[in-house]
Structures are given as structure tokens and as C-alpha cells.
Structure 1
Amino acid sequence: MILTQVTAAETEINPLVPHVPEIILGVIVIALLFVGVAKFIVPNFEKAYADRTAAIEGGIENANAKQAEADAKLAQLEAQLADARHEAARIREEAREQGAAIVAEMREQAQAEAARIVEHGKTQIEAERQAAVTSLRAEVGTLATGLAGRIVGESLDDDERSSRVVERFLADLEAGVH
């Protein structure tokens, strides 16, 4: 019975133990799948990964180049701005100097004009004084001659004599003033 049991057990199929042909067929299918995946799918993944890596690295290199270019442009613009500030300061200083020169020149012109006006005024006053003195001499002479004629009782119509009398009178008058 034992023998019959062993043969019965051998002929009976156990669902937990796989059959050898199934194992071989499973190994072949897995090997074919592995070869197909390794040959067709993995290279596509590798290619996509390499393309993606190249794009990222290219983007990083491009970004670094753009950053370096932007930094260079920024430095150039800052240098131009500094130059422009220096130029503006120089122009302001020149304008200040020119303004001071113009003010000094205008002051000199005003002083020269004032001196000219004062000199002209002095000249005019002197001329008017001379004219007044001459006019007063003539008038004083006429009055003195008339007065002297009344005092003396004779007419002093003689021009030469009357001018001598007037001159002497005025000289005495000026000597008395000083």
C-alpha cells in the first residue's frame, strides 16, 4: 500500500509545485522580455535621459553665459554711469566757474560804469560851477558897477575901467573868503 500510495502521489498533480515545462517556458518568456526591454525600451530611456541631461546642462551653460554677459553689461553700464556722473560734476564745476567769472566781469563793468558816471557827474558839476561862477561874476560885476556908480556919483560905463574894478572887487572878495 505504501507503494501504491507513492505512485498515486506521483501521478497526482500538485498545484503548488510548478511543472518543469512551465518553469522552462516562464524562464524563456522572462528572458525574451528582458532582451526586448534591454534592446528596445532601455535605449529609448537612456536616449531620453541623455537628451534631458544635455538640455539641462546646455540650459545651465546658457544661463551661466547669459549671467556672465549680464554681469559684464552691468559693469559696463555702471562704468558709463560713473563717467556720466563725473562729466556732470565737471560740467557743474565749469558752470560755477563761468558764473563766477560772469559775475566778476559784470561787477567790474558795473564799477567801471559807476566810476564813469561819477567822473562824468564831477565834470558836469565842475562845468556847471564854472558857468555859475562866470554868470555870477558878470552879474556881480554889473551890480557892482551900478552900485559903485551910484556911490561915486559918476557913470562907470567904460568897459575897461568897469572890468578892472570888478576884477579887483572879486579878488578882494575871494581873498576875504579864504
Structure 2
Amino acid sequence: MENSNGNSNRNFKKNTETTKIETSDFKDYQFQTTYYGNSVAKFTASKKRTYFPVVFIAGIAYIATQILKKGVFSFSTWLRVIPILMIFSIYYRKVRVRRQSILIFYGIGVQLETEYLFGRSCSFIETTKIISAIIYDKMTYMELSPCIGLIIKDEKSLVVPFSDFKIPTKKNIIIYNALKMI
């Protein structure tokens, strides 16, 4: 159906509750904040691009040519193949997580989603099980970065929603305030 201006009209109900989306780009990932009315908030961190398939195919091709040239039982073949496999394992460990998100359902609980290079995991934590949300400093060999964590009843360890991303302090405070509202 078209109106007098030539634009097509679509019959859909407009949601009275507003949806707010904010996207921030960082060095190697993108952080998105989405509010669905007054009941749900979603925070997502996703990597921009991964070159793992290209590197993997190039490595397999190199290993195959080494085996065809020298043979499987040649010492020089394995001397070249083992470092390539070690590089794959280090690279895979770095790129294995593609996206992590936390959905906060006010009054119900928190849903944690992690999308890996090969698979996905999802867990839900009820509001009654959440003791507190904290912002703490994660220390690695080279840097100190702030992280958000959840203290859960009957859990021995801290639940860290964005463990593979370096979320800035400003975004961690926004997530912390949203978690405090449940």
C-alpha cells in the first residue's frame, strides 16, 4: 500500500517503550549498549575481525607441502610442523572468543552469553543468587585494567562477564550501575 507521496506504508505497532542503542569502537573490538525500555539492558563486546581461517588454511597448506616433500617420518618435517602447531594454539587462544554479552533483566536475573570461534555458551543467574557486583583491577604481565565481576552464592570463584576484553572504566561503571539496579 502506498500513500500519496509514493512511500510505502507498513502496518506495525510502534513500541511505546524506547530502545536506545549506543556503539563505541575501540582498537580491536566494538562495545554496544542497548536498552529495551525499562526492563532489559544488554551490553555486548565483539571482536572486529579475525584472520584465523586464513592463517589456519595457510598453515595446513604449509604442513601438507612439507609432508609431501620430505615424508611423514622425516625429522626436518616435524622440526617445521611443531612450531607451526604451537603458533596455531597460541593464535587460537587469542581469537577463540568472538563476542561476549550480558543481558540484565531487571528483577529477574542476568544472562551471560559467550560466542566462541567454534561454538557458543549461555548461562543464566537469578537475582536471588547474585550477592554483589564489583569493579576490580585485573593485572596481567604488562598492564592493569578494570573489570566487572559478580559474586554469586555457592560459587567458589568470581563470575567475570567480559573476561577476554579490555572494557574501559566508563563502560564498566555503566554496567555496574545497571547490575546494582537488579
Report the TM-score, using the length of structure 2 for normalisation.
Answer: 0.22
Structure number with higher helix proportion? 1
* Larger Rg computed on CA atoms: 1
Report the TM-score, using the length of structure 1 for normalisation.
Answer: 0.22
Greater RCO (CA < 8 Å, at least 6 residues apart): 2
